[in-house]
Structure 1
Amino acid sequence: MHGAAGPWERAQAALNRRDLREARAALEAVLQHEPAHVPARVLLAGVHLGERRLRDASSQLLQAARALPDDAATVCRVAQALMRVGESAATHDVLQHPSIGSCRDGVILASLAHVHQSLGQHEHALALMDRARTLRFDNPDFRYFRSIQLQFNGRLDEAREELESCLRLGPTYGRASLTLARLRKATAASNQLAYIDEQLRRVAPGTEDHAAFEFARYKELEDLGDYAAAFEALARGNAIMHARVQHDPARDARHIDALIARCTPSFFAQPAEEADDDGPQPIFIVGLPRSGTTVLDRILGNHSQAMSAGELGDFAHQLRWAADLPGRTLLDDALIERLPSLDFADIGRRYLAQTRWRAGDRRFYVDKLPPNFLVAGLIARALPRARILHLHRDAMDVCFSNWRALFGDAYGYSYDLQALAMHHRHYRRLMAHWHAVLPGRILDVDYGELVSHPDAVAERVFAFCGLPMEAGVTDLSRNAAPVATLSSAQVREGIHGRGIAEWMRYESQLQPLHDAL
């Protein structure tokens, strides 16, 4: 290590002044002297990302993963970095490192729990959070995220208790107040309205906390039947988020236009070669958020031959790896521009390599990420044996459900009624295009039909996927697996149609949305 101290210090100084070229040279000098210097590889990966070289960043992190020291803090840092670049399989392997089992640092354990959460391993995430708690690690943020894990794991009473304790510690924690409002029905005798009103006087205006308290107020008032005041609170919350996120509808339109222009019948004339093995195959569920995708996922997860893998970002990561373009969004202009030159057979192979571990001993695994509707055609080209299910729902129902959701920064279109309507039109236009250029590859599933005739729809879905029908698959109450969506509490109640036409409570206020659709 002593021989590498000079270049290591030069690398730190260069990074402090954002000189990526000098930092890269210094870190390469460190690694030439000491190839197993894991912190240098992690920093060099960050430099490569800053220089827009995703593949080089991934390569450095995979080498770091093969040289891990017996130190849980370093293991955690490598796992976090691997997850950021989409190396899911390597992240999973790193999280088996023996140093984690002997770690006695609550901060590190809580950080590792977040990595497990990002992988969709919610039982492991909660177990690490519980270990951190026994080591007296505690703060409002930790209690909030532990409550979320309790909720995902189906322990709803404990989740409510943890949220209440979080709010006692963190008086302006809007997300906790909103989550609590969603976990229990407000009554005249038991509600948060006085507390929320107090926090709205104290919270920093225009923040996400501010918006979350308005969304929470909406839910409490709706439970109490005060629909006029509820809508006003919801409108205020959405206006705050719309101002924060600054969604660009023109960019969405440009992306859809570009996808349709590039993904012509000739684009699909030479599909990727099928994998020459009999390993587990993916079933994709796509559609708009809040369209019922979780219900369908739970039905499939009840089948003896299918494993629910959660909402995976792996296909998007492999698109970006093929294009060597880092980025945080599913699509962007540069990625769409490079689509014709990508090796889709390799994208398919890499996707399977990153995800098949999730299937366990099942023949199929379910990748339920609603925005993958944007790349459904690309999935079909890269993975010829993949099944693709498209969940669609009444336009007003799904748009209103998006508008009242509070997705953070994830779906910027959802905070403005006109942007919502435009996004819905683009979505329908793109799905029609995928059906036109890939006839028979995507099965449409209607949410209204699913909740009214679940067994008949399930039988049709299973036939499309190559699965035999099994008794009891539509009994969602028997599915004890963790579920990590906004509807994680509701789907444990079983299949119901209570969400149909809920927007009618606000028919006059939502007339602009109705007209735009």
Structure 2
Amino acid sequence: MDQAKSPHQSAGPAVLWEEAQRLILENRVEEGRARLLAILETQPRNAPVHMLLAGTSLASGKLQRATAELRAAAMSIQNDPALLIQVMQAMSRLGETNDTRMCLRHPLIPRLQNGPMLTAIGHVYQGIGLNAEALAMMERAKRTGYDNADFRYFHALQLQFNGRLGEAEAEMESCLKLGPTFGRASLSLARIRKQTADSNHVAFLQERLQSVPKGSEDHAAFEFALYKEYEDLGDLDAAWSALQRANAVMAARVPYDAASEEKLFDLLIQRFDSDAPRGETGIPPGPMPIFIVGMPRSGTTLLERVLGSHSQVASAGELSDLPRQLRWVADRHGHPVVDEDLLNAMPGIDFALLGRRYLQQSQWRANGKPFYIDKLPPNFMLIGCIRRALPHARVVHMARDPMDVCFSNYRAMFGDSYAYSYDLDALSHHYRQYDRLMQHWRETMPGFVIDVPYSNLVLDTERTCRELIAACGLTFEEGCLDHTRNKASVATLSSAQVRQPIHSRGLGEWEKYAQRLQGLRTALLG
């Protein structure tokens, strides 16, 4: 005799779907999952069900299970472009780059004529570092007649990332005519070139600051833009005042927790207190990564452009592949590059698997070359992981003068990415944590990290390039001395100035505000 079925096993898919959504909303997640799994018994290719199962898996921290459900959803989509985009967005955020690329080849996409959807696909391309393709998708969206301030802003960014600076500036200007406040666009516009007495936006920015919501991100962005324009015009008193106001807004929005960060760095040092054990000892097949790390605004983008000008090296940009694959192997969902939960999982990490997963997700970026650059500055926290997972990889650390790099962080606007950057005391504290961690890597794995001083790169470029290229196991090429030939896209704050020839103007930039930065200098020297 058959065993009696539970009520949900005998219900139809439509009823089960409604019940599942209700139960999940009531936080009865396992009961809801049971209904969803019952639907799959008769409809194994039900993409919305797989998508909702992925969401419940993420909510419970089951990253590996979530990515499997997303893959099943992607394989099941027939004629639902909106759901396809949702799946791609989720995959990209979780680091499933290969599956994201598979979705981007879906036959639905070439037939799309929907501007918002094409723009969303452009953002997916941007999220995995394919900026030429992102721009092409946004151009398609523009041809449908789609247009608003947000679209023009992101279109302008892609023009800038792809080196079309004149068009980017014009698009930013047009963006600002469509909305009452758009701080990010104003900041990008201020940074795209040096402002002059005859051509600047100071009056416009002052006017916008009268009506912008106080304490908002727009408010901060307008102040950062005003700082940049005043400094270009030589009014350093007004520039400094604007910079202080900008950072005060962001510090209130994104508070820095010094104690938590210090504890995190302590844990990193404890977890990687020796150079062993490591992952697989044989050299894996295929292209190998060259990791460029350091503090943001330390010159990592310039270094990438120089090294990426070598015929055997591809510039891949700022990749999230390593931290995302680390989270997948640990089965710990989260957004920071590293956090306490992830560090607590380190003793159980299969570093050989991490190395294989990383290469599987990233080697395509080499485009047939034997090396590719993974330039994510905060990967300096994961050098111990790189050593154990990819012992044959190269790690290049860009080291910049403490005052120069801290001031450059203070005058940047990173959104909510780097809370330490909006307060001078926080900056000095963070720098000390970064510096002691880098010293720890040098002591525990001598010779693994290649240090490149920023000042050497800009003052003695040829000698520094020769030494770096030799350390990476490559033969020197004269073309590396002219990084402006490198046409790869650049999606960082340096995307405008990095296309200029190498110069030393970045040395000692803080000195024009030396009196105001004396406290920072004292803290760093102490």
* TM range, smaller chain: over 0.9
| 1:16-415 mapped onto 2 (5 Å cutoff) | 16-265=25-274, 268-274=275-281, 277-415=284-422
Change over 3 Å in CA distance of 1:167–1:275 after alignment to 2: farther
Deviation at 1:461, TM superposition (A): 1.2
Deviation at 1:90, TM superposition (A): 1.1
CA deviation digits over 1:129-165, x for unaligned, max 9? 0111111111111110111000000000100011011
Deviation at 1:14, TM superposition (A): 2.8
Deviation at 1:126, TM superposition (A): 0.5
2:163/2:489 contact within 8 Å kept: yes
Q: Per the alignment, in what secondary structure is the counterpart of residue 310 of structure 1?
A: coil
> Which residue in 2 is equivalent to 1:448?
455
Decide which moves more: 2-11 or 283-292: 2-11
Distance 2:367 2:504 in 1: 33
> Which residue in 2 is equivalent to 1:475?
482
Distance 2:403 2:117 in 1: 44
> Which residue in 1 is equivalent to 2:8?
none
Distance 1:90 1:336 in 2: 27
Deviation at 1:342, TM superposition (A): 0.8
Distance 2:180 2:276 in 1: 58
Distance 1:463 1:18 in 2: 58
Distance 1:14 1:158 in 2: 51
Supply the AA of the counterpart residue of 2:371.
F
Distance 1:257 1:277 in 2: 32
CA deviation digits over 1:371-406, x for unaligned, max 9? 000111211111011000000000000000000000
Deviation at 1:427, TM superposition (A): 0.6
Distance 1:503 1:461 in 2: 27
Supply the AA of the counterpart residue of 1:491.
V
Q: Per the alignment, in what secondary structure is the counterpart of residue 302 of structure 1?
A: coil
> Which residue in 1 is equivalent to 2:6?
none
Deviation at 1:240, TM superposition (A): 0.4
Deviation at 1:184, TM superposition (A): 2.4
Supply the AA of the counterpart residue of 2:107.
P
Distance 1:229 1:19 in 2: 56
| Alpha-carbon RMSD | 1.2
Deviation at 1:279, TM superposition (A): 0.5
Distance 1:124 1:450 in 2: 32
Q: Which runs of 5+ in 2 are unaligned?
A: 1-10
Change over 3 Å in CA distance of 1:111–1:436 after alignment to 2: same
Q: Per the alignment, in what secondary structure is the counterpart of residue 398 of structure 2?
A: strand
Q: Per the alignment, in what secondary structure is the counterpart of residue 391 of structure 2?
A: coil
Distance 2:490 2:412 in 1: 17
1:388/1:442 contact within 8 Å kept: yes
Deviation at 1:189, TM superposition (A): 2.1
Give the total of aligned pairs. 514
Decide which moves more: 361-370 or 63-72: 63-72
TM-score (norm 1): 0.97
Deviation at 1:194, TM superposition (A): 1.2
Q: Per the alignment, in what secondary structure is the counterpart of residue 481 of structure 2?
A: coil
Distance 1:60 1:159 in 2: 39
Distance 1:14 1:84 in 2: 26
Deviation at 1:276, TM superposition (A): 5.4
> Which residue in 1 is equivalent to 2:4?
none
> Which residue in 2 is equivalent to 1:514?
521
Partner residue of 2:498 out of 491, 497, 507? 491
The alignment-based identity, stated in percent, is: 52
Q: Which runs of 5+ in 1 are unaligned?
A: none
Distance 1:78 1:274 in 2: 36
1:391/1:444 contact within 8 Å kept: yes
2:276/2:388 contact within 8 Å kept: no
Distance 1:291 1:400 in 2: 10
Decide which moves more: 318-327 or 112-121: 318-327
Supply the AA of the counterpart residue of 2:330.
A
CA deviation digits over 1:13-59, x for unaligned, max 9? 23444442233222222222211111111111011000111111011
Distance 1:98 1:50 in 2: 31
Deviation at 1:464, TM superposition (A): 1.3
Deviation at 1:275, TM superposition (A): 5.2
Distance 1:116 1:433 in 2: 37
> Which residue in 2 is equivalent to 1:503?
510
Deviation at 1:274, TM superposition (A): 3.5
Distance 1:295 1:123 in 2: 20
Deviation at 1:94, TM superposition (A): 1.3
CA deviation digits over 1:89-129, x for unaligned, max 9? 11112111121111111111000100000000000001110
Distance 2:38 2:416 in 1: 39
Decide which moves more: 65-74 or 112-121: 65-74
> Which residue in 1 is equivalent to 2:7?
none
Distance 1:255 1:50 in 2: 24
Distance 2:303 2:112 in 1: 39
Q: Per the alignment, in what secondary structure is the counterpart of residue 133 of structure 2?
A: helix
Decide which moves more: 59-68 or 319-328: 59-68
CA deviation digits over 1:480-507, x for unaligned, max 9? 1111110111111121111111111111
Distance 1:79 1:275 in 2: 34
Distance 2:31 2:345 in 1: 30
CA deviation digits over 1:340-375, x for unaligned, max 9? 221101111100011011111000110000000011
Supply the AA of the counterpart residue of 1:244.
R
TM-score (norm 2): 0.96
1:42/1:81 contact within 8 Å kept: no
Q: Per the alignment, in what secondary structure is the counterpart of residue 64 of structure 2?
A: helix
